[in-house]
Chains A and B, each alone.
Chain A
Amino acid sequence: QQKVQQSPESLIVPEGGMASLNCTSSDRNVDYFWWYRQHSGKSPKMLMSIFSNGEKEEGRFTVHLNKASLHTSLHIRDSQPSDSALYLCAASDSNNRIFFGDGTQLVVKP
């Protein structure tokens, strides 16, 4: 069973719109979360990390974390065509095993 589940599988938003992506872990040993972005044909690059309950904002990107429910979400406001990519949620446990979900494919339409 996959330890990190992401939804939706795919998402289409208009340019300038808001994209909201979700991620939940089924492993109670998980303690840290990251969001990675992977453009087509490229390797993943870390976008944002969140380790404590609450919210973190960096420019147009905001992440939330609820450690009790092991749920994190990523919100992209004023979405741009260059934001079109595969967004991967990752979680790590105390043994530094880092697991990824299957990703959300985001398409921003001009």
Chain B
Amino acid sequence: EAAVTQSPRNKVTVTGGNVTLSCRQTNSHNYMYWYRQDTGHGLRLIHYSYGAGNLQIGDVPDGYKATRTTQEDFFLLLELASPSQTSLYFCASSQSQNTLYFGAGTRLSVL
């Protein structure tokens, strides 16, 4: 099964803080995605990428930057974290128009 690893698993920061969430996939998938999931809700697309150096805007990009440094690695950056960004973040990878494989998630709290 496809392997997607997220780190850290939990993170606590303060308002205005700087946070980087990491994601690595070892399946040679072209596409990688960042989603957030708030309690009782589905997943909302933040950013996605179809290859190293590429970045596409999702539905809720405000306050987030992302960078795809290699085919394996996709990072999500919060440069001035706000309490509204407290959420569960999932990274996923896939081949084009195919099944998404998710990481275990990162729980972020912004105090």
Chain A interface residues (CB < 8 Å from chain B) = 3-4, 6, 32, 34, 36, 43-46, 49, 88, 90, 92, 95-103, 105
Please report whether the interface of chain B is mostly helix, strand, loop or mixed according to DSSP. loop
Contact residues in B for A49 (Cβ distance below 8 Å): 99
Q: Is B99 a contact partner of A103 (Cβ separation < 8 A)?
A: no
Q: Is B42 a contact partner of A92 (Cβ separation < 8 A)?
A: no
Question: Whole-angstrom distance from the CB of A48 to the nearest CB of chain B?
Answer: 10
Q: Is B31 a contact partner of A96 (Cβ separation < 8 A)?
A: yes
A96-B50, A97-B58 are contacts. A43–B105 as well, Cβ < 8 Å? yes
Please report whether the interface of chain A is mostly helix, strand, loop or mixed according to DSSP. strand
Chain B interface residues (CB < 8 Å from chain A) = 31, 33, 35, 40-45, 48, 50, 56, 58-59, 90, 94, 96-97, 99-100, 102-105
Compute how far the CA of A103 lies from the CA of B97 in the bound complex, rounded to whole angstroms: 21
Contact residue among B50, B100, B103 (Cβ-Cβ distance under 8 Å from A98): B100
